[in-house]
Structure 1
């Protein structure tokens, strides 16, 4: 039986290492769309970027509701599900800054600027999601 994580625990969990998020968005016909994303926490917001022309980019522009699942698939298992509504920006400075921060998390500080330059370009979206709801459990198999 799992145990609920505290706010401090779930924040540390989702920020640990290079765990990806599994992002759920809503397609125009109501079906879910699921895709992995690199992300960082910025206060009470999840921040990631995506192409404006991707399925998730188009979904977010039309309907900003999201759910993001971050999990540990090793026993005793744990997961965090964050829900909220996305706000989109195409501001070049913000895009490049956050693309670099995200790149640093997943590829290392020495490659941060490379990923900022690659992903902080026209056609990309900066996505900020204010977390409205959290479901977080650890020790699921205990």
Structure 2
């Protein structure tokens, strides 16, 4: 078995990994053709992830031109700890205020557990008109977990 096969995560491992991490790095193509990279909070959704961002952000301008992105989630401080998932994604831009609010609620629930639901809904509803939802659906997933090598290279 190749090293690549040894470190690949199963679909279940990918799901578990995404559920346990906190930040995605999203690469879109800027107007000059160069990658534009931005970190975002997210929540797992289906095989991919979802989030929201300001409607006037550069990443949204880029995604309006080309609704494709590469999403990276990675961790590890040494070679034998390296883990990650890279997803080439089709991106849906969600503009319906109710749907944007739902995405915002999903996101804020994940990062502010235990907050009063009514207070949370009020804050998210106030922010939703300025936001765009982003739903990342993978067309290709590459994963690695170097801990599967047991410390050997």
TM-score, normalised via structure 2 length: 0.82
Q: Which has the larger radius of gyration?
A: 2
1:62-94 CA-partner distances (Å, limit 9, x unpaired): 111101110113341211111111111211111
Structure 1 residue 111 displacement after superposition? 6.1
Aligned residues: 140
Shift in CA distance, 93/30, structure 1 to aligned 2, threshold 3 Å: same
TM-score, normalised via structure 1 length: 0.88
* Structure 1, gaps ≥5 residues long: none
Runs of 4+ in 1 over 6 A off after TM superposition: none
Give the SS at the match of 2:74: strand
1:99-120 CA-partner distances (Å, limit 9, x unpaired): 111111122241662652354x
**Cα distance in structure 1, aligned partners of 2:116 and 2:16:** 23
2:142 counterpart of 1:131: no
RMSD after superposition:
2.0
The aligned counterpart of 1:46 is 49
Bigger fraction of residues in helix: 2
